[in-house]
Structure 1
C-alpha cells in the first residue's frame, strides 16, 4: 500500500524536489501551500492553506492521516506548533524537519560544525537562525510515537532556486559583467544539490530510526568563493571577470554586492549518501537559468555599479 505523504511548502525549489522524489517512488503525495504557484504535476495533490491560520489549517487537515510529513517551509516554533496540533498522528511514522546550518554559533566554534556542537545565535543569520533553534527545541518534545528527523543543510543549490545565488553569477558570466568578490575570495562555502536532499528525505523515511535523529547534510568538500565561481563558469563556458574588493574598508557589507555571508559555512557531515558532483548539479542549474526569466535585486545592481565606478 502506498504511503500518504504531506510536504509543507512543496511547490517550489526544495519542496518541489522532495514532492517529485516521493511521487516517483510511488507514494501518494500531498503538498500544502498558499497556492501561489502552479504545481504542473498531476501526480501531486495540492492543499491550499495559509499555515499561519491555525483554524484553516485544522480544517483542511481534518480528513487526512499521513504516514510521513516533511516540513520545508517552517521558519519558527509557531509554524511547527500549529501544524502538529492540526495533524492526526495515529499513523504518523516520520516527521522530517528541514532546519539549517544557521543554528550554529559560528563565532564560538571551529569548522567543521558538528551535530554535537552547542546551538546558539549566529550573528550572520540573526533571527532566522534563532527561530530555527526554537523550532527544533519545540519539535524535540513532540510526537512521542513517531520518529523525528532534523536535517541541517548548508547552502542548497539547483534548478528552481529562488535565492539569487548561482543564477546571480550565471547572469554576470553570460553578460560578461565583472563579479565583485571579497578580498582573496577564499571564504569556504558548502553546498548540497536539491535532489540529493530530497533523496536523503526519502531514504530516511524508509528506515527504522531512533525517536530523534539529527543530521548535517551536505557535500563532503566545501568550495572557496573563487572555486565556486570557477565551477559555474565552466558550465556556462564563460571566463569570470573577478574584482576583489575590500568592502569593510569602504563601509559596505558583503551582501550589498554578493549573495553569501562572509564566513566559513562548513559542516561535519554525519550521513552517507550518493552525492551529485557539484559540476553536474551546476549544469542542471545553468540549463534552468537559461530558460527562466529572473528579475535580479535592483539594490544589489545599484551597489555593484557604484562600487565599480568608484573603486575600479
Structure 2
C-alpha cells in the first residue's frame, strides 16, 4: 500500500511509520521536519494547516491521521486535493463525558469531559467533521497508549523511581483504575480494519484487562528488576503534584475491538520492552515533570 501518516517522528506516529515500513509499504510522512525522520519513509515537509499544493493530485491507499487534534486539522487535509481509499483517525476516549455510565460504549452521547476540557471537545469536533465529509472513515478512541518511543513522563516516572531505589508515593490506597493500549496493537488493529472493512466505523480500542495504579507501578518496578515499596499519600494533596495521572478513572468497553482482535499485548511484557528502550534513550521525554522535587520537598518526612 501507499500510506500517508501525519506526524511520523514521535511516539505513536513514529512507531506506526516504522511498523508499516517494516511491512514493506510505501510510507509518506507529513510533518514540519523538526525531528529526525524514520528510515525508509518519504518525507513531506509541511505544516498540515498550510498544505498549499503539497498533496494536490496525490493518491494514497490509506491516510492514517494521528496528529489531528482539531476540526481545522481534518479540514485542511480533506481540502488539500488529496484522494484516498481508506481513512483512519486516531481520536481519544476524552470525547466521553465523565458523567456517562461506565464502561463507556461507542453509542453513548459524547461531549465535554471536565478533566480533559478543550482537548476532548476538539477531538470530538474533528470526529464530527470527518464523519460528515468521509462517511466510511474509521475512528479509533484509545485510552492511554504505551510502548517504545513514549515521550510523555508517565512510565518513565516509576522507571526513574525504581532505578534510583526510591519508594513510590502512591495516591491513597492505589486502587484507581487504568486502561492501556500498546502501540503495536494499534497497528495490528488498523491492519485488521483494512482487511475486513467492518460495517462499524467507530471503535473503542484498548486492553480488556484493567489494572489499578498500584498494580501498574508494581509492573513498572518489575520491568526495572526492582520491587516497589509504597508510601500512601492522602487525598488532601493534589495528585498531579506528585503522580503522573489525573485523579480520574474510566474504563472503555472494547468488545467490538475484541470481536475482530481477540488478544492484546501483555502489559508486563510491553512495559519491560518500553523500559529497555527508555533506559537507552533517557532524553526522549519532552516535558519531564518535577514530581520527585515535590515529593522530596513536601512529602518526605524530615
Aligned residue in 2 for 1:132: 123
Give the whole-Å Cα distance in 2 for the aligned partners of 1:97 and 1:175.
Answer: 39
Aligned residue in 1 for 2:151: 162
The question of whether the paired residues in 1 share the 8 Å contact of 2:55 and 2:80 is answered with yes
Task: Count the aligned residue pairs.
Answer: 296
The question of whether the paired residues in 2 share the 8 Å contact of 1:58 and 1:87 is answered with no
Give TM-score, length-normalised by structure 2: 0.93
The question of whether the paired residues in 1 share the 8 Å contact of 2:15 and 2:149 is answered with no
Q: Give the 3 Å change call, closer, same or farther, for CA 298–16 of structure 1 in structure 2.
A: closer
Aligned residue in 2 for 1:9: 7
- Runs (5+) with no aligned partner, structure 1: none
Aligned residue in 2 for 1:265: 250
Report how far residue 63 of structure 1 moved. Answer: 4.7
The question of whether the paired residues in 2 share the 8 Å contact of 1:96 and 1:148 is answered with yes
Q: Is 1:232 aligned with 2:226?
A: no
The question of whether the paired residues in 2 share the 8 Å contact of 1:156 and 1:193 is answered with yes
Deviations 1:227-284 (A, max 9, x none): 101111222111213221114x24x2x2221111122221000212231111111111
Give the whole-Å Cα distance in 2 for the aligned partners of 1:167 and 1:298.
Answer: 10
Give the whole-Å Cα distance in 2 for the aligned partners of 1:235 and 1:298.
Answer: 21
Match of 2:79 among 76, 85, 88: 85
Q: Is 1:44 aligned with 2:41?
A: yes
Aligned residue in 1 for 2:279: 290
Give the whole-Å Cα distance in 2 for the aligned partners of 1:16 and 1:37.
Answer: 11
Aligned residue in 2 for 1:244: 232
Deviations 1:183-205 (A, max 9, x none): 11111000011111111112212
Aligned residue in 1 for 2:184: 195
Report how far residue 21 of structure 1 moved. Answer: 2.3
Give the whole-Å Cα distance in 2 for the aligned partners of 1:204 and 1:25.
Answer: 16
Deviations 1:54-84 (A, max 9, x none): xxx1322125211210110111111111111
The question of whether the paired residues in 2 share the 8 Å contact of 1:158 and 1:285 is answered with yes
Q: Is 1:256 aligned with 2:241?
A: yes
Q: Is 1:75 aligned with 2:59?
A: no
Could you say what the CA RMSD is over the residues aligned between the two structures, in angstroms? 1.7
Match of 2:102 among 96, 101, 111: 111
The question of whether the paired residues in 1 share the 8 Å contact of 2:169 and 2:231 is answered with yes
Q: Give the 3 Å change call, closer, same or farther, for CA 103–221 of structure 1 in structure 2.
A: same
Report how far residue 206 of structure 1 moved. Answer: 2.7
Q: Give the 3 Å change call, closer, same or farther, for CA 52–256 of structure 1 in structure 2.
A: farther
Give TM-score, length-normalised by structure 1: 0.90
Report how far residue 18 of structure 1 moved. Answer: 1.6
The question of whether the paired residues in 2 share the 8 Å contact of 1:14 and 1:198 is answered with no
Match of 1:61 among 55, 77, 100: 55
- Runs (5+) with no aligned partner, structure 2: none
